[in-house]
Structures are given as structure tokens and as C-alpha cells.
Amino acid sequence: MASNQLQNIRSSSYVIEHEVAAHKEAEFRKWQSDITKAASQYEGYQGTDVCPPVEEDEKWYVVVHFDSQEHLNQWLESDDRREFVKTGKQIFSSTKITYYKTGLERWFINQKTNPPAWKQIMATLLGLYPTVMILLLIQSSLSSMQQLDRADAMLISNFVSCCLLTWFVMPSVSRLLNFWLHPLPHASKWNHWIGFVLVLIALVFMRSLFVTFANG
């Protein structure tokens, strides 16, 4: 791995893709078990998730977790890992790190791919709209918030919104819309439209609810 790639890591986890021919699966499993044992000896190691190929696909996805960027980089830059990667090249035909995710994109992280941008936008709107509206209603009912400068009140509201979205709201939205965000290979061609319509219905319903509550 190039040094500039290592310097740009902003996450304590990374996803790596291996393309392994079917006749080398047993050899790869042994290699993966050995490299996992080696990684587990490094400080901050938290676990490894191994995702086998789906149906006729030959791509394996491995997610390695450390408790901090510093500890992750110690493993990535280690001689032990370099040796395993060197021997592993005799087993898999190709390998690449598919992504390092942080911030909002982690809401949609998946074993293989992220949803199209338009789906991410719709799902984010579904989580963002009620969160902001509820906080706005709460803020307007608190005299202490009304006494703050508008810029300060907005800063506090945005901070709370980001925390709620990252830790609670968006993980729930992602699970709820998983069938749409990450459809199975054999999913109906109507899957995209069904999810889109459901999100629109939910947004219209929430809009009506908030208007009624605000005017009530």
C-alpha cells in the first residue's frame, strides 16, 4: 500500500476486497485465518468480519476493526501484514481496499457497495427532516433557547441533530430501508420505485403531522 494512502486514513476500520477462484477457496480461508490471528496480536484490535462471495461471485470482503486510527495504522504498516499480503498474492487474483468511510457515508456502509447518491439523499432526508423539526419544536418551547443569539441556538441545534442522526436515527433508517438501499441481486425491478414511493409517503405524512402540530 502506498504511503500516501496510509496517511489519508480517517477511520479505525477498513474494507478489503479479494477475488479468489473457487478452487482456491480452502487455501484462502486458511490464509485469512492466519492473517486474522496475526492482526489480533496488535494493540487495539477489535475483530474481523469475513463476507464470502454471493452466489457465483468470486469476491470476498473482509472488514478489519481497530479501536483507533493509530492502532490501525500500526497494523497496516507492519512487516507481518506485508508478508501476509505478499504470500496472499499467490492465492487471490486481485485485491484492493474498496473504501475508508467516516462521517455521513458510514450511515450507508455495506459489505459490498454503497447505494446510489439519490437513494442516500432520500434516506438522509427521511431521517433529517423529522429530527430537525422535532428539535425546532422543542427549541421554540424552551425560553432558555429563545434567549440565545440565533447563531448560538442554531449551533446547538445542529450539534444535537448530528449526534442523533449518527448514533440513532440513520442507523435505524438504514436498517428499515435495507431492502431498498441494498437490494438483493434477484430483487424485483420495481424495488427501486417501491422504496422511493414509501419514502415520499412517509415524508408527506410527517409534513402533515408537523403542520397540524405547529398550528394546533
Domain residue ranges in the chain: 3-100, 117-215
Q: How many CB atoms lie within 10 A of CB 72?
A: 25
Assess if CATH 3.30.70.100 describes domain 3-100.
yes
pTM over 0.85: no
The alpha carbon of 94 is separated from its chain's Cα centroid by a whole number of angstroms, namely: 24
* Distance (Å, whole) CA 88 – CA 189: 38
Per-residue model confidence (pLDDT) at position 22: 87
Q: How far is the CA of 131 from the CAs of 29, 158, 162, 164, in angstroms? A: 44, 10, 9, 8
* Distance (Å, whole) CA 41 – CA 165: 34
Per-residue model confidence as pLDDT tens digits over 101-141: 444 555 665 544 567 878 888 999 999 999 999 998 898 88
Successive 10-residue mean pLDDT values, the chain, 216 residues: 39 81 91 95 90 80 84 90 92 71 53 70 93 90 85 89 88 89 81 94 95 81
